């Protein structure tokens, strides 16, 4: 299409003659895109902060034995306590096809019992102990700061090794002292420190950093928990929802341990993927609401643009009539009106998008200056796809705003228009 310099000169001339009117009209579109950018960016920031609170394996499921049976099962009485054992863990590995990995977990001083009295030289404290396995750092949201994590050899040989939280390190060791390789006493038993971790969860109430982790089998044998397993974590196979694996494991255990699967007091569980799905659903709803509010605002601004264009057409009736008398086609008249409308909405929307992104960048810089840990809001941003959709909405709104004025202009009768005062 050849650039029509005269047509654009007329568009700019019309806008310059009515600066206030054009500015106020464009502001409605500007505000709609600005609000869309801010709302979606803030939603993304909140989503980033919340989802980072989830473990790096959001499809994990925790299952534990919690109460006695409340429903009779095949002649067996109620009130039976169902105990989980290592044999149950091994049976689940072999017989439940949806399970990829399973980890037994015992503890001391977390759910019951007293924390372990811990001694290093002249310093001491009471700390909870949690059993872990090689590969569970992500599940427990741990990042190793010094040394290493528990490995498979530690598991297989039931080594008396420990990784300590950074808060434990602060209480037992001097700041310039290297804890790696040192021996600490847990409940009267010597353990060698092989690592120091920090907890990556953003939960301000978390006390993970005040715990000590040791190989789970070591914990069971060292602290008289050989005959039972307190809980276990399952990771489903790829493309299998955690809820499916959870249901199949519970069904298998109900048959193996002889209790009714509908007896919900027997086994407790926490399905992280269900919570993850709920959060994603919540944020999808927030995004949809943001789009709805913003598009309504943009349409309101577009209606304002349409009203202005009607006034412009009314003011230029004689000019339009003269154009038609000189041979201008209805298409050229419509094109003139549509171009002006789309131009106003596009420029206003572009600046709304730019200002919105600048505000989000400023908020992001402000948050980063405040430190990176413990935040429930991080990296507010708008992706490229959203920007493209916003621009498409702008173009469509500009076209819609110009339809009625363009039709009115195209319908002008040259004879009547030239007689218009």
Euclidean distance between CA atoms 128 and 192, whole angstroms: 16
The answer as to whether 211 is a domain residue is yes
Picking from 188-197, 312-321, 358-367, which range would have the lowest pLDDT averaged per residue? 312-321
Instruction: Give me the long-range contacts of 70-75 (CB less than 8 A, separation at least 24).
Output: 70/263, 70/265, 70/266, 71/259, 71/260, 71/262, 71/263, 72/260, 73/258, 73/259, 73/260, 73/263, 74/258
For residues 295-318, average pLDDT? 70
Residue with tokens 């919690």: 66
Handedness of CA 185, 191, 197, 201 (dihedral sign): negative
Average pLDDT value for the chain:
82
Q: Is residue 122 over pLDDT 70?
A: yes
Read off the pLDDT of residues 253-289 as tens digits, 9 standing for 90 and up. 999 999 999 998 899 999 988 888 888 888 888 888 8
Count the Cβ atoms, other than its own, within 10 Å of residue 205. Answer: 5
The answer as to whether 62 is a domain residue is no
If asked whether residues 74 and 123 sit together in one domain, one would say no
If asked whether residues 326 and 315 sit together in one domain, one would say yes
Read off the pLDDT of residues 197-232 as tens digits, 9 standing for 90 and up. 998 876 666 788 899 999 999 999 999 999 899 999
The answer as to whether 397 is a domain residue is yes
Q: Are 56 and 235 in contact (CB under 8 A)?
A: no
If asked whether residues 249 and 184 sit together in one domain, one would say no
Q: Which residue has the higher pLDDT, 124 or 345?
A: 124
**SS3 helix, strand, coil % of the chain, rounded to 5?**
50, 20, 30
The answer as to whether 346 is a domain residue is yes
The reply to whether the predicted model has a pTM over 0.95 is no
Read off the pLDDT of residues 75-120 as tens digits, 9 standing for 90 and up. 888 999 999 999 999 999 999 999 999 999 999 988 777 888 999 9
Euclidean distance between CA atoms 377 and 78, whole angstroms: 48
For residues 145-154, average pLDDT? 95
Q: Are 171 and 227 in contact (CB under 8 A)?
A: no
For residues 342-370, average pLDDT? 82
Q: How far is CA 238 from the centre of its chain?
A: 21
Q: Is residue 22 over pLDDT 90?
A: no
**Percent over 90 (pLDDT), the chain:** 39
Range of the domain at 164: 107-225
């Amino acid at each position: 299409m050849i650039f029509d310099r005269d047509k654009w000169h007329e568009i700019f001339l019309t806008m310059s003659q009515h600066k206030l009117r054009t500015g106020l009209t464009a502001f409605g579109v500007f505000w709609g895109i600005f609000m869309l950018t801010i709302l979606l960016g803030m939603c993304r920031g909140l989503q980033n902060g919340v989802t980072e609170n989830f473990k790096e394996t959001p499809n994990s499921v925790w299952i534990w034995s919690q109460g006695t049976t409340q429903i009779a099962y095949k002649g067996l009485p109620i009130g039976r306590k169902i105990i989980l054992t290592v044999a149950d863990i091994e049976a689940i590995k072999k017989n439940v096809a949806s399970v990829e990995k399973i980890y037994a977990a015992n503890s001391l001083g977390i759910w019951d019992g007293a924390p372990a009295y811990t001694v290093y030289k002249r310093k001491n404290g009471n700390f909870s102990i949690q059993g872990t396995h090689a590969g569970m750092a992500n599940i427990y949201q741990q990042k190793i700061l010094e040394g290493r994590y528990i490995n498979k050899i530690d598991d297989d040989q039931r080594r008396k090794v420990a990784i300590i939280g950074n808060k434990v390190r602060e209480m037992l060791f001097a700041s310039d002292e290297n804890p790696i390789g040192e021996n600490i006493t847990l409940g009267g038993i010597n353990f060698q420190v092989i690592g120091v971790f920090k907890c990556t969860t953003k939960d301000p109430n978390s006390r993970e950093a005040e715990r000590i982790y040791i190989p789970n089998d070591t914990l069971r044998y060292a602290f008289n928990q050989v005959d039972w397993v307190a809980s276990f974590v399952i990771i489903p196979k790829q493309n299998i929802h955690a809820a499916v694996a959870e249901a199949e494991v519970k069904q298998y255990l109900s048959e193996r341990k002889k209790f009714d699967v509908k007896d919900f007091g027997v086994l407790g569980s926490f399905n992280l993927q269900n919570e993850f799905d709920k959060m994603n659903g919540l944020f999808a709803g927030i995004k949809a609401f943001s789009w709805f509010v913003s598009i309504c605002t943009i349409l309101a601004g577009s209606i304002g643009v349409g009203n202005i264009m009607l006034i412009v057409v009314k003011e230029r009736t004689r000019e339009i009539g003269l154009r038609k008398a000189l041979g201008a086609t209805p298409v050229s008249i419509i094109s003139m009106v549509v171009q002006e409308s789309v131009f106003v909405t596009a420029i206003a929307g572009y600046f709304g998008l730019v200002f919105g992104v600048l505000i989000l960048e400023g908020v992001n810089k402000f948050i980063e200056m405040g430190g990176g840990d413990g935040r429930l809001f991080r990296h507010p941003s708008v992706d490229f796809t959203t920007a493209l959709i916003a621009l498409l909405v702008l173009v469509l709104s500009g076209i819609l705003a110009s339809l009625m004025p363009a039709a009115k202009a195209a319908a002008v009768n040259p004879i009547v228009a030239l007689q218009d005062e």
